[in-house]
Amino acid sequence: MKIKYEGYNNAAKKVSGELDAGDATEARGILRSKGIRASKLILIKGGAPVRRAPMNGEKPKIDWGDLSTVLDVISSPVPSLVEFAAFIRQMSVMQAAGIPTVQALNVLSETVETPGFGRALADIRSKVESGQSFTEALKRHPAIFDRIFVNLVAAGEISGSLDKILERLAHYYEKTSKLRRKVISAMTYPAFMLVLIVVIVSIMLMFVVPTFAEMFSSNGQELPGPTKMVLHISNLVRDYWWAYLGGLGLFVSGVIYVFKNESTRAVIDPVLVRLPIIGPLVAKVAIARFSRTFGTLIQSGVPILEALDITARVAGNMAVERTLLNIKAEVSKGNSISAPLMQSGIFPKMATSMIAIGEQTGSMDGMLQKIADFYEDEVDAVVGSVTSIIEPLMIVLVGAVVAGILIPMYLPIFKMGEAISGGG
């Protein structure tokens, strides 16, 4: 395709002209190789220029006449991490094979599973085709493409090594997806058992306990205190079932709010890291995520202060986020990274020592990747040990809950049996 350009050469002189390129990304690369920094790219069709790419700082406008863009803005369904990692891997392979960005996006927009993701890729393709940079087009969809992805793609476009950056990103998101699956596998069993407990208690209070109540009322005997209490709770649940269901809903919403809200997480997250059973898992996941993210960013040429800021925002733990923001402040004053990490009390000595060695030898990015590999393996081991501890605890809990309801129901029967045997 023909593209008209305007820009500045190495002598800061304004230049303009036309060139042939597969897409805007390729055009920028060609101009860079000639020492020209493009300020404007215009796609030419049929001898007439159409649509100028928005410049840096301009706010992208939504074309409300374009149904695909409108649907994407309204729904914006985010793909799963597995699908997103697969997309980046395919994109990196196509870039390495020399396939232009527009063609790669065209193919991938039609093959992804999530419809909204496909619409987003189609929109990005059209923007890149019309002269906008790949990075600027990605920024139109912040719900899908996070700061890590956008910043690294920007670094790849500037350096002309987008294929290598995408390969690195594919590796990063594949590792992140694997780590997330490990955490989810550790949480699935306890969550299932808690739901099971709620279901069992609800069924017993609404259907089982009333059958005992009918039997006791026909006998007319004095009931023990625990039995009266369970019967009273059963009556409340049956008479005010809507309040019971509403209370369960409010409780679940409250738990979600507590773990989503930054002010409450600032209190909870430091406690979670130090809990006896799940604390080691939370800490190791946080260390692995920090090492993988920070290592990938600085390996790709992102400045350390910006890399620390991005890593802090995606840390997933407020205690780690505060530590990294403190480290950013210290580094901006000229101090090292390893010293404040050691003082945080969150990062183990082995990790901080390896980072200190990496700082001294100039190989911190490689050292961080090794730390991430080590702690991801550690997460595997911790998940296994946590599961082996939690499983019997949850079984005991289910048994205790069921016994807490059934034993009071059988107390009057035991008492009746004693009276019969005593009378005989």
pLDDT of residue 70: 47
The type of residue at 386 is V
Fold match, 67-174 / 279-379: yes
pLDDT of residue 246: 93
Tokens of 327: 């480290």
Cα-based torsion angle of the residue sequence 261, 263, 268, 270 in order, rounded to the nearest 10 degrees? 120
**Top-level CATH class of 67-174?**
mainly alpha
pTM for the full predicted model = 0.68
pLDDT of residue 370: 92
Residue 31 CA neighbour count, 13 Å, CB half: 29
- DSSP annotation of 60 reads P
pLDDT of residue 58: 37
Q: From CA 284, how far away is CA 114, in angstroms rounded? A: 32
- Of 209, 190, 62, which Cα lies nearest the Cα of 123? 62
pLDDT tens digits, one per residue of 220-268: 677 888 888 999 999 999 999 899 999 999 999 998 888 888 788 888 8
Which residues of the chain fall below pLDDT 50? 46-73, 76
Do residues 120 and 133 make contact, with C-beta atoms less than 8 angstroms apart?
no
Query: Domain coordinates of the chain in residue numbers?
Result: 2-52, 67-174, 189-274+393-423, 279-379
Which contacts qualify for 362-366: CB closer than 8 Å, 24 or more apart? Answer: 364/295, 364/298, 364/337, 365/295, 365/298, 365/299, 366/295, 366/299
Do residues 283 and 269 make contact, with C-beta atoms less than 8 angstroms apart?
no
- Spatial neighbors of 265 by CB under 8 A, at least 6 apart, are 258, 259, 318
Do residues 330 and 308 make contact, with C-beta atoms less than 8 angstroms apart?
no
**Top-level CATH class of 279-379?**
mainly alpha
- DSSP annotation of 3 reads E
User: In which residue are the tokens 């809903």 written?
Assistant: 249
- Spatial neighbors of 253 by CB under 8 A, at least 6 apart, are none
